[in-house]
Structures are given as C-alpha cells and as structure tokens.
Chains A and B, each alone.
Chain A
C-alpha cells in the first residue's frame, strides 16, 4: 500500500509537466494580449458586482421628459425609447452576461466531464452509447437546439442557461474522454492498476488532475461562446426577459430605432464584443501556457 502511495504521489510525467506549466504561466504573464484579456475580464466582473453603485441611475427608471435623447452630460450614453439611461442599463447588463457565461459552462462541465470520464475509463458498450448520444447532440445546431429548448421550457435566463449548458456539454465529453484514454496508457497509471488501485482512486488521483489543464482552457473559451449565445437568445427574445437589462435584449429593441437613436445600438454590442474578446484572449493565452507541446 505504501508503494502505491509513492507511485501516485510522484507520477513520472507529472513533475515535468508541472514545471513546464509554471514556466508557461510565467511566459504568459509577460505577453500583453492574455494579460489584457484577464484585466478586461476582471474589469467586467467588478462592473457586474458593483453595478448598483456604479450606475448613475436605476436601470428601470424612466424619464418621459427625455425619450431617445442623444448622449449628454445628464445621460452619458443617451437614453432609450422609454427614457431609460443607456449607461446604467449597459452596466447592469454585465450581470446577465457574466452569469450566463459562467453558469452555462458549469452546467456543461457537470454534464460533460463525468460522462467523458465514464466513457473513456470503461470503454466498450458504455463508451459507444455515450459517443452516439454526444454525436446526436452535436448534430443540432447550437442555436436551433437552444431555441427548441427555450420554446419547450419557456423563455427566461435560467432556461437559456440550461439550453446553452446542454448544447455545450458534448465538447467536454469528448475532451475528457480523450484525456482519460491518453492518461490510461501512461506507465504510472498501468503501475497503479497493477498495484491494485481501485477505479475511483485512479480517476481522482491520476486521471482528473492530468485532464484539468485542457478542461480549464476549454471552459474559458466556452464562457466566451456562452456569452455570445446568451446575448443571441436574448436578442431573439428567448433569453433575459424585459424589463431586466441584458445586452442582447437592448440590441433587440435598438435595431428598431437605428435612424432615430443610433446610440442605443452601439454600447451594448461593444460590451459583448469586449467581454467575449477578453475571454478568448485569456483562454488562448492559457492554452499556450499550459500546452507542453509549445513549451520548448
């Protein structure tokens, strides 16, 4: 038993990978784009958390004396069709987007990672079955699946997040399964098996830690996709319901007032673009930092 413990605590490949990752992370910190991504992500997190204090007005407060007003000192980004402050609504809109991004990905992880572990670890019929279900899920175009689920469950932010989570799960099933297959073939895992380590112990001590880095990278990039998906559903009217402010929902209204109030259409879109870009830059940076193949 003591032998088994020593095998598991110092896996052969593990130490080297740990070092390359440390070096990788340090390299990443020196590169401007991933750092820019991280800073912008944190900035939006702060904006979302402190929205009630940062926003100059209540997001639902209407000023009927100032309908569709161009940006001014009173309303920095102008007002919308019923006299609400666009800036305050953009600030509050960060909440729906970040919430949707993070929670959808958590749902996708909760569904995808266990299924991938099981499929890769047990193989055979189980693997075949999970593989076919994953293929089937992947066959539905993302938005069509989300639209169908939103139609079945009713439009709301919660249901949009469930739909996005389910639609994103297949990526994690495939990724985790691939990692399990790769790790299983390693000598130290074979050694642990030979020494009688049980399934759960193997998965928890050897397989998951090794699969962690690629899953983290994929999760970061999937948050970017999930934010676009949420804003798309809200744009179609199938996500966040008015009057709750969301960037997609604001654009849905703004597209009807492009001639009279173009400012309504600019900032919610810029916000989506910046947030998604930031997650993509950060995710790309993480991938370069954690991928040992590029470490040389």
Chain B
C-alpha cells in the first residue's frame, strides 16, 4: 500500500513540473518585456527595474525559470500590483469562500445524485429512470451562469424570497450566509449532480448484475438491504474517482457562479485580475489551482486504493 502511494506520488512530480513550465511559458509568451507587463499600466521605471532584478530577467531563460521555480517552491507567488499584497496571501484570503461554496454544492449534488442514480438503476426502464436521465442531460446542458440568472429572476425579482447577491461571511452571520449561499450552491451543484447521477446509475447497474448480489437475494436478504448494504457500497467506489476528476469542473463553475452572485471568492479573484491586467495574480492562481488539482487527485487515488486493495495490488505488477 505504501509503495503504491509512493509510486503514485512520484508520477505526480513530473506532471507538476510540466505544469510550472506551462505557466512560465504562458507568462513568457505574452508579447513584450515581462517586467513591463508585470508592472501594469503605471510603467514606473523603478518598479520595472525591481522586477527585472527579482525575476532575473537579464539572465538566460532557463536560469529565469529555475529562479522563479525556487521562489514558487518557497510559497512566493509574486505580488499583486493592485493591492501590493502577496499573491499567496490573496489566495488564502479568498479560498475559504470558494471552498464553502464548493462543499455546499457537493452536498446538493450528492443529495440529488446518489438516490436518483440508485432508483434509476434499480427501476431501470421505468418512468423514474427516464425522468432521471432527462434531468441529468438537462443538468449537463444548461449553462450554470444562466441557471443562476433565472433563479435570481424567479426567487429574488419575482418572489422576493432570497437576496440576489451580496455575501455575508460565515463567521459573521451563519444563517444569513447560508441564505445567500443557497442559490449559488444549487446552481453549482446541479451540473455536478448530473455527472454523478449518470456514474452512479451505470456503476449500480453493473454491480446489480454480479453474483454476490444474486447470492444476497438468494439467501433471503430483503431487497432494500441488498441494495443499500451490498450493491450501493460497491457502486460508490467509481463515483468517488469521478468526484476527484470533477474538481476542475467544479472550480470552473465556481468562477461563473461567483461572477453571477458577486461572491468574493477565488473565481472572482481571477476574473478581476484578468481585467485589471494583474498578471502576477492570474499566474499565481492558475499555478495554485493546477497544483491543488494534482494533489487532490493523488489523495483520491490513494484513498481509492485503501478502499479497494485490488488496485494497489495491480499497481505493484
């Protein structure tokens, strides 16, 4: 098991290095002098000189890359031009908001997807199955920012039940925070629910055909017990992997959802940075998300191996 985890971690390292090369490459491919670009609109000669020094821009490109990589490895992602704050500080400041949004949407998604997927599989071909399939396809096809706009139109403009935008920190007023997170979490959760439901349905269908399920039925276990205790537990495994892979989609969705509901999270940070030409922030955020994605999928893979020892065994061969 330990060897599997170690092996898996070792393959993540070259991937991570390629990610840094790409981020470095994107930044260097911007037309013009990097220091002038990073200095933003002001073009203050002092700032430009400082940046030339800091990023070793007078050295050969490989040296520049290694110098930058060294700074990144120490957690130094550069400084925002707008606020003069370190980029890593900005990220840590905005991240909790997005994590809360992501966790709430995950809750919404799981609450919809798991029961719907199980029912659709158990009653395959029934009206419930067909409606679940139609729901999943619609969930995949609806642009989440538009769904957000429609919810605002209905619940905020028409019914006046929920505020359309504005954010209240969780620690300041938990109830008000949840009230304002309700629509964003639902919007972000439906897309994920569609993907998870399809996965749950197909893996449940596969498990239901297996011998141990038939055995459980044959020994006289009640239908619901067989479904929950025997089939569902095994069908959940591939769903966990899909969940890890959906993390990127969840973050992409969060960028849009935060824009619609003006939530000051991670996604809004990137979009605002793009419009402010605050390249250091864009670069730092892109690098951070890619690294986080690799790390989380590493954890998911190892967890998966813990839950299903066959994987680690096969991985050894």
In the bound complex, CA of A175 to CA of B163 (Å): 45
A277–B274 contact, CB under 8 A? Answer: no
Known pairs A141-B249, A144-B289, A150-B274; A135 contacts B15 (CB<8 A): yes
B149–A231 contact, CB under 8 A? Answer: no
A111 within 8 A of B: no
A133–B252 contact, CB under 8 A? Answer: no
In the bound complex, CA of A222 to CA of B156 (Å): 34
Partner among A142, A276, A280 whose Cβ is within 8 Å of the Cβ of B143: A276
A265 within 8 A of B: yes
- The residues of B that contact A273 with a CB separation of less than 8 Å are 138, 141-143, 146
Partner among B26, B249, B275 whose Cβ is within 8 Å of the Cβ of A149: B26
Number of interface residues of B (CB under 8 A): 51
Q: B180-188, B235-243, B279-287: which lies at the A interface?
A: B279-287
Number of chain A interface residues as a range = 35 or more
Chain B minimum-CB-distance residue to A143: B252
- The residues of B that contact A235 with a CB separation of less than 8 Å are 143, 145, 256, 259
Known pairs A132-B14, A141-B248, A280-B137; A236 contacts B259 (CB<8 A): yes
A269 within 8 A of B: yes
In the bound complex, CA of A240 to CA of B275 (Å): 15
1/0 per position for A255-285, CB-CB distance to B under 8 A? 1001100100110110011001100110010
A39 within 8 A of B: no
In the bound complex, CA of A259 to CA of B164 (Å): 11
A66 within 8 A of B: no
B290–A140 contact, CB under 8 A? Answer: yes
A251–B145 contact, CB under 8 A? Answer: yes
- The residues of A that contact B164 with a CB separation of less than 8 Å are 258
Known pairs A141-B248, A141-B293; A238 contacts B143 (CB<8 A): no
- The residues of B that contact A141 with a CB separation of less than 8 Å are 247-249, 251-252, 255, 289, 293
Q: How far is the CB of B91 from chain A (nearest CB, A)?
A: 13
B263 within 8 A of A: no
Partner among B26, B142, B149, B259 whose Cβ is within 8 Å of the Cβ of A254: B149
Chain B minimum-CB-distance residue to A255: B149
A152 within 8 A of B: yes
In the bound complex, CA of A75 to CA of B293 (Å): 48
B142–A258 contact, CB under 8 A? Answer: no
Known pairs A144-B289, A269-B150; A277 contacts B141 (CB<8 A): yes
A35 within 8 A of B: no
Q: How far is the CB of B105 from chain A (nearest CB, A)?
A: 14
- The residues of A that contact B216 with a CB separation of less than 8 Å are none
A228, A268, A273, most chain B CB atoms within 10 A: A228
Partner among A139, A143, A251 whose Cβ is within 8 Å of the Cβ of B294: A139
13 of the cross-chain contacts (CB-CB < 8 Å) are: A133-B18, A135-B294, A137-B22, A142-B252, A143-B253, A147-B270, A236-B259, A258-B149, A259-B157, A262-B157, A269-B150, A273-B138, A273-B142
Task: Please report A residues at the B interface, Cβ cutoff 8 Å.
Answer: 132-133, 135-145, 147-152, 224, 228, 231-232, 235-238, 248, 251, 254-255, 258-259, 262, 265-266, 268-269, 272-273, 276-277, 280-281, 284
